[in-house]
Structure 1
Amino acid sequence: MGEIHENKMHKLTIAGGHKDRFFIANQYGESIIIKQTNLNEMVAYEKIFNSKSSDPRFRENQVLKNFLPKYYGVQELEAPSIYQDDSLSKDNIPILLENLLADKPNASILDLKMGTSSLSLKKRAKHDVERIKLKDSMTTTKTLGFRVTGYIIKDSNGNTLEKVVKPHGKIKAEQIPIILQKLLSFQNDQNGINSEAIEYLKSQISKMIKYFQNIHSRQMQCSSLFIIIDNLNRKYDIKIVDLSSCQDFKSLEERDTGFIFGLTNLLAILQTL
């Protein structure tokens, strides 16, 4: 197994997540990351990326793949294990994903937790459920269908100007347009906001809304939108990440209304910039 190291790309990837679950291995280069995840997320990626034409969700999966980082399967481990635990378990599975930051060295990023509830599939004690519900009520989760879980703003030289991680309850609805403006603005020059990047985001989010309203039949509980804006190199991306609490609805006609609510409100904010 290649040497594992944490580099700048790794640190950016986890602006709003769990840094101890992401690695870059030399044998893959910087285009692929290893994510240590649970069985549910691995199964979700397998279903989406490796579905057969006979699968009733085959058409849905073909579209959904466009909104996710590329999935390259489960890493084959060689002893000794590089991970925190000595053996694999259902909560310790190394999957290989596209490194969305590999070709965007100066990218500013924004991580948005989507939906109107952040309760995961994990069984929890009653007091934990109440604590999570209280946290949701203190953020924009209920009112906008998403909340900011982290962001990094960089200047045109790739230097970090601002970094915020897990600001639970501190970022209000009126601050979100300001954060988006920072994300989408050219830094250290007079060019102002990047209209090309705004149009890209609006176009991609509109496609997501159409898909979620008409085809998507899964609940993307606790998933995030990962927005990447490299204003200097004019490279942009927006992907859905974290499928650890993703589950299929019983009916192909059921829709994830919380995710749709969040996408719709995010698009409305972008249209005001």
Structure 2
Amino acid sequence: MEPRPQAGGHEGILIFRRDKVLKRALPCELNFYTNLFNPNNQIPILLEFQKFVPKFYGSQLIDGSNYIVLENLLWEYENPSIMDCKIGRVTWTRDHSPPRCVTQQLRASKTTTSSLGFRITGLLIKDREGHVTDSIRKKQVFDITPDNILDYFARLVIRDDVFQEEVVDQFIMETQEILDWFRKQRVSTFFTCSVLYVNGFNKAQTKFIDFSYVYESDGQRDTNMIEGLESLINTWEKLKMKYAKSYYL
């Protein structure tokens, strides 16, 4: 099977099988998807959340590791470019070891996690022929700042030297729908989740992914996610103001 590039996350945790992808998962993520897509789930706020995440097809044990079987979000997209944005100023949890918490806090302080409430963890750009023309990996996220982040966002939505205003509008609308859900939900608190933007030459989409750390809420709003999503939308809006109707080469 030909390996597929990842925009973010840890290398080697994904197995692609046509319209499905197998992801090596922590127990929390498996439990989250299992409960969310349980046929007996009758909680309206959770049923509404299903449309924002990849479809779930169960789990599979491979070489002693548990994999969740999910919808392949890149399937039927023509040479898609992708950007992964990890949401929230706080990316460490009660399940992280003290040294890991320190590492996460240090990474946050050196990236836009602390300043903007999110950071780009991966970016992969393809041309019409499917060749990778641009990408960033983990170490390069430290080069992204509030002053230059629009340049990275622009790489995803400038195709053939044309600024795709309609795609930006779609990304803003779909991210706003996720934000609206978070503003009203009180059932869960999320950490280290991401918004994944996919921009193919035939269509685009926005999905909320990565659920390794999800906890029952104490009835409070998940301000960590809310503030990060608000900042993400604000960044798209700034990009639109900078480029819309004025990008000509």
Q: 2:152 aligns with which of 160, 179, 183?
A: 179
Structure 1: gaps of 5 or more residues: none
What CA distance in whole angstroms lies between the structure 1 residues aligned with 2:71 and 2:41?
A: 24
Partner of 1:239: 207
> What CA deviation, in whole Å up to 9, does each residue of 1:118-170 have, x standing for no partner?
21453303x43222211111111122110011101122222211110112422
For residues 185 and 192 of structure 2, the distance between their equivalents in structure 1, rounded to whole angstroms, comes to 20
Q: CA RMSD in A?
A: 1.7
In the TM superposition, what whole-angstrom CA distance separates every residue of 1:165-195 from its partner, at most 9, and x where no partner exists? 11242211122211111101112xx5x1111
- Name the TM-score, length of structure 1 as normaliser: 0.82
Cα deviation per residue 1:67-94 (whole Å; 9 max; x = unaligned)? 100011112x4xxx4x3xxx3xxxx311
Residue 250 of structure 1: CA displacement? 3.0
Match of 1:65 among 50, 61, 66: 50
Structure 1 pair 121–229 and aligned structure 2 pair: CA distance change class (3 A): farther
Total equivalences in the alignment: 238
Q: CA deviation at 1:267?
A: 1.0
**Whole-Å separation in 1 of the counterparts to 2:47 and 2:192:** 22
Matched, 1:17 2:9: yes
Name stretches of at least 5 consecutive residues in structure 2 with no aligned partner.
241-249
Q: Hey, which bits of structure 1, 4+ residues long, moved more than 4 A?
A: none
The TM-score with structure 2 as length reference comes to 0.89
* Alignment partners' CA distance in 1, 2:84 and 2:10: 12
1:227 aligns to what SS in structure 2? Answer: strand
Whether 1:259 aligns to 2:247 is: no
Q: 1-side partners of 2:54 and 2:9: how far apart?
A: 16
- Structure 1 residues 24, 153: CA separation in 2 closer, same or farther (over 3 Å shift)? closer
Residue in structure 1 matching 2:66, options 75, 93, 98: 93
Structure 1 residues 1-273: aligned runs within 5 Å: 5-7=1-3, 10-11=4-5, 14-25=6-17, 30-50=18-38, 52-53=40-41, 58-75=43-60, 77=61, 81=62, 83=63, 87=64, 92-125=65-98, 127-166=99-138, 167-187=140-160, 190=161, 192-230=162-200, 232-233=201-202, 235-251=203-219, 254-272=220-238, 273=240
1:53 Cα deviation (Å)? 5.0
How high is the sequence identity, in percent, across the aligned residues? 26
